[in-house]
């Protein structure tokens, strides 16, 4: 039981000895970025600009006819914020904020509520059409309405849990392997270190992919409601 407590202590925001304001540290990247980033076209600026343009074109395609100027910046900002938090969480002694539903639900729930509210106000007919497709047999109407309603209600939860579960899974695996190094022989130690490097590379990819998935799914939900 004590081992389990120690294992999950990496996700405890009060367990860090170095960064006591763990939630505020989500914005530490603003301090780290050099001031020249904001004034001259540095390599960092060019890289972020390329990412921005690529995501803008992709989100614009997803939104389709429902696209209006400035809307994609919401989802691009969401992607970049989650990405930075995921990557910072890979560093030692840094609290992983996206492993908590407090943060992930804070991102997904207001977005979903906003989509639903605007959809009900401006496009209520489409909402009913989406819940009950045309041509549905009379006997299946109650089940279809129930299933579609439940699928819409749980969307913010699935977004939040998907991000949290993927971040937690990788961190737990890295921690489990790291705990075995103290009593391992030299050969096993080398294998564990190589495995840790591979897992860290995989987690870096997961940090990017999960940020992208969260932003894309949010865009798709927005399109479904307002299209």
- How would residue 39 be classed by pLDDT, with cut points 50, 70 and 90? low
The more confidently predicted of residues 124 and 144 is 144
**Residue 163 reports pLDDT greater than 80:** yes
How far apart, in whole angstroms, are the C-alpha atoms of residue 78 and residue 125?
A: 29
Mean pLDDT of 145-167: 84
Average pLDDT, the chain: 76
Helix, strand, coil percentages for the chain (3-state, nearest 5):
80, 0, 20
- How would residue 214 be classed by pLDDT, with cut points 50, 70 and 90? very high
CB 61 within 8 A of CB 72: no
**49 φ, ψ (degrees, to nearest 5):** -65, -40
**Residue 125 reports pLDDT greater than 60:** yes
Mean pLDDT of 151-176: 84
Q: Which two tokens stand for residue 208?
A: 């990017």
The 3-state DSSP class for residue 34 equals coil
Give Cβ neighbours of residue 172 (< 8 Å, ≥ 6 apart).
Answer: 7
pLDDT exceeding 70 applies to what percent of the chain?
69
CB 134 within 8 A of CB 125: no
Q: Which two tokens stand for residue 54?
A: 């690529």
**Residue 3 reports pLDDT greater than 50:** no
The 3-state DSSP class for residue 63 equals helix
- Name the burial class of residue 215, with classes exposed (0-12), middle (13-18) and buried (19+) by CB atoms within 10 angstroms of its CB: buried
Taking Cα atoms as reference points, which of 175, 155, 6 lies closest to residue 89? 175
CB 196 within 8 A of CB 178: yes
11-20, 28-37, 157-166: least confidently modelled range: 11-20
DSSP for 95-157? --GGGSHHHHHHHHHHHHHHHHHHHHHH-HHHHHHHHS-TT--GGGHHHHHHHHHHHHHTHHH
**Residue 10 reports pLDDT greater than 50:** yes
How far apart, in whole angstroms, are the C-alpha atoms of residue 186 and residue 109?
A: 49
CB 152 within 8 A of CB 132: no
pLDDT tens column, 53-72: 888 888 888 877 655 667 78
pLDDT at 212: 92
Q: Which of 21-25, 186-190, 194-198 has the highest mean pLDDT?
A: 194-198
Give Cβ neighbours of residue 6 (< 8 Å, ≥ 6 apart).
Answer: none
How far apart, in whole angstroms, are the C-alpha atoms of residue 136 and residue 209?
A: 37
Instruction: Give the residue carrying structure tokens 């405890």.
Output: 12
């Amino acid at each position: 039981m004590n081992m389990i407590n120690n294992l999950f202590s990496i996700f405890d925001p009060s367990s860090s000895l170095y960064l006591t304001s763990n939630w505020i540290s989500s914005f530490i990247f603003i301090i780290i970025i050099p001031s020249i980033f904001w004034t001259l076209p540095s390599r960092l600026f060019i890289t972020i600009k390329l990412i921005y343009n690529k995501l803008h074109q992709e989100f614009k395609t997803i939104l389709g006819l429902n696209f209006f100027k400035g809307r994609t910046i919401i989802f691009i900002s969401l992607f970049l914020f989650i990405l930075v938090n995921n990557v910072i969480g890979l560093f030692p002694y840094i609290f992983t904020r996206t492993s908590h539903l407090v943060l992930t639900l804070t991102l997904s729930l207001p977005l979903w509520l906003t989509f639903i509210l605007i959809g009900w106000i401006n496009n209520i007919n489409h909402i009913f059409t989406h819940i009950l497709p045309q041509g549905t047999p009379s006997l299946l109407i109650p089940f279809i309405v129930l299933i579609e309603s439940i699928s819409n209600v749980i969307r913010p939860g699935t977004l939040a849990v998907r991000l949290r579960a993927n971040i937690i899974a990788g961190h737990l695996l890295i921690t489990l392997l790291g705990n075995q190094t103290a009593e391992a022989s030299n050969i096993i130690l080398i294998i564990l270190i190589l495995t840790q490097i591979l897992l860290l590379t995989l987690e870096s990819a997961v940090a990017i992919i999960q940020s992208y998935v969260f932003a894309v799914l949010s865009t798709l939900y927005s399109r479904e409601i307002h299209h």
